[in-house]
Amino acid sequence: MLKIERYPDLEEAFDENMVKDLDHVLIRHSYGKGRHILPHVHPKDDEYVIASRGHFRISSGGIEAEFDLDGTEVVVIYYPAGRDHGLEVLGEKLDYFVMRKPS
């Protein structure tokens, strides 16, 4: 089962998912249609995909979910350390954040 949360804006999404006084890695990605990030694992880090605009599909543990976001909400998808996950861009462009923190 995937843990997917929805928030009204980025500020609340980060506030609810970041641990205060703990180092996090934050990466901003921008990919075009057809970009496919193959399933992979981060053995020691929890990972969050944070997006508000774009059409994309995620996969993890044999489960897939598709999102078509228009900026009216922020979706946060959580992958615990050691869980496989991948992503495919279905729309013209996907801008999103990846946040990692030690598990």
What string of pLDDT tens digits covers the 103 residues of the chain?
789 999 999 999 999 999 999 999 999 999 999 999 999 999 999 999 999 999 999 999 999 999 999 999 999 999 999 999 999 999 999 999 999 999 8
Closest CA to 61 of 33, 37, 80: 80
For residue 42, how many other CB atoms are within 10 A of its CB? Answer: 17
Cα separation, 44 vs 14, whole angstroms:
20
Cα separation, 8 vs 50, whole angstroms:
12
Structure confidence at residue 71 (pLDDT)? 96
Query: Domain 3-102 sits in which CATH superfamily?
Result: Jelly Rolls (2.60.120.10)
Cα separation, 101 vs 103, whole angstroms:
6
**Confidence (pTM):** 0.94
Cα separation, 27 vs 64, whole angstroms:
23
Structure confidence at residue 1 (pLDDT)? 74
